[in-house]
């Protein structure tokens, strides 16, 4: 049984038709891009962008230094972040151990940027996963990049954004601490008379 009776096809004869069809598809694509714009990738097509502004955000370099030495080192124990009220409160809770207190505040700040639900390796979870894998688990950049399926350059860009989010979370924690202190100082206490 033969599927094709005549297998001698003259492809060169149809070259101009193929070229015309190719140009037609290219021009149609250009018209669509010109009319509707370039379609956006998954990173830009959904979700929400929340930009928070605070009176004072901890210096991002100090947060980066503290995260880099999350498991100990002079940039953690001598960090200017130790002067924050939220760290001072944590210092009392951790028996005066500055490294543990700052580590607890950093951990709480990282947990604040954690998305809702069960952990996934999706774009929504990328910032939290970078912080958790690189700083809290101490994995190397290459390991984290492979696990998250991103290039190392992209990982560094997203890491910078993640550190900024941690700085904003610490700023929010500090603001809440100041609000509590203001609220506590304005409460009228009954005086026995």
Angstrom distance (rounded) from CA 177 to CA 87:
10
CB 170 within 8 A of CB 86: yes
pLDDT of residue 20: 96
CB 139 within 8 A of CB 112: no
Angstrom distance (rounded) from CA 166 to CA 144:
18
Q: Which of 22-31, 41-50, 96-105, 164-173 has the lowest mean pLDDT?
A: 41-50
Residue 6, pLDDT > 50, answer yes
Burial of 109 (0-12, 13-18, 19+ CB in 10 A): buried
SS3 56: coil
pLDDT of residue 193: 39
Residues in contact with 143: Cβ distance below 8 Å, sequence separation at least 6, in sequence order: 133
Residue 192, pLDDT > 80, answer no
Residue 104, pLDDT > 50, answer yes
pLDDT band at 41 (very low <50, low <70, confident <90, very high): low
Q: Where are the domains of the chain?
A: 60-183
Residue 88, pLDDT > 70, answer yes
pLDDT of residue 185: 52
Residue 186, pLDDT > 70, answer no
Angstrom distance (rounded) from CA 165 to CA 171:
10
Of 19-23, 46-50, 174-178, highest mean pLDDT: 19-23
- Sequence-ordered alpha helix ranges (H) in 37-83: 42-45, 60-68, 74-77
pLDDT of residue 71: 80
Mean pLDDT of the chain: 81
End-to-end CA distance of the chain: 113
Angstrom distance (rounded) from CA 132 to CA 134:
6
DSSP labels for 128-173?
A: HHHIIIIIIS---HHHHHHHHT--HHHHHHHHHHHHHHHHHHHHHH
pLDDT digits 0-9 by tens, 49-65: 555 444 556 788 888 88
Residue 47, pLDDT > 60, answer no
pLDDT of residue 46: 57
Q: What percent of the chain has pLDDT over 90?
A: 14
pLDDT digits 0-9 by tens, 143-183: 988 888 889 899 899 999 999 999 888 888 888 887 776 66
Buried b (16+ CB within 10 A) or exposed e, 27-44: eeeeeeeeeeeeeeeeee
Nearest residue to 149 (alpha-carbon basis) of 49, 42, 75? 42
């Amino acid at each position: 049984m033969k599927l094709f009776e005549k297998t001698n096809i003259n492809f060169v004869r149809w070259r101009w038709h193929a070229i015309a069809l190719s140009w037609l598809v290219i021009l149609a694509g250009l018209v669509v891009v010109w009319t509707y714009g370039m379609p956006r990738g998954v990173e830009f097509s959904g979700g929400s962008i929340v930009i928070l502004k605070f009176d004072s955000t901890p210096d991002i370099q100090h947060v980066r230094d503290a995260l880099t030495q999350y498991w100990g080192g002079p940039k953690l124990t001598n960090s200017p972040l130790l002067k924050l009220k939220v760290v001072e409160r944590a210092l009392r809770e951790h028996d005066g151990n500055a490294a543990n207190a700052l580590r607890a505040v950093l951990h709480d700040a990282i947990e604040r940027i954690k998305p809702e639900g069960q952990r996934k390796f999706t774009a929504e979870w990328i910032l939290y996963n970078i912080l958790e894998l690189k700083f809290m688990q101490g994995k190397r950049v290459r390991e984290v990049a492979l696990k998250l399926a991103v290039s190392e350059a992209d990982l560094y860009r997203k890491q910078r954004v993640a550190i900024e989010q941690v700085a904003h979370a610490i700023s929010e924690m500090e603001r809440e601490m100041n609000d509590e202190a203001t609220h506590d100082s304005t409460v009228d206490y009954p005086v026995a008379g």
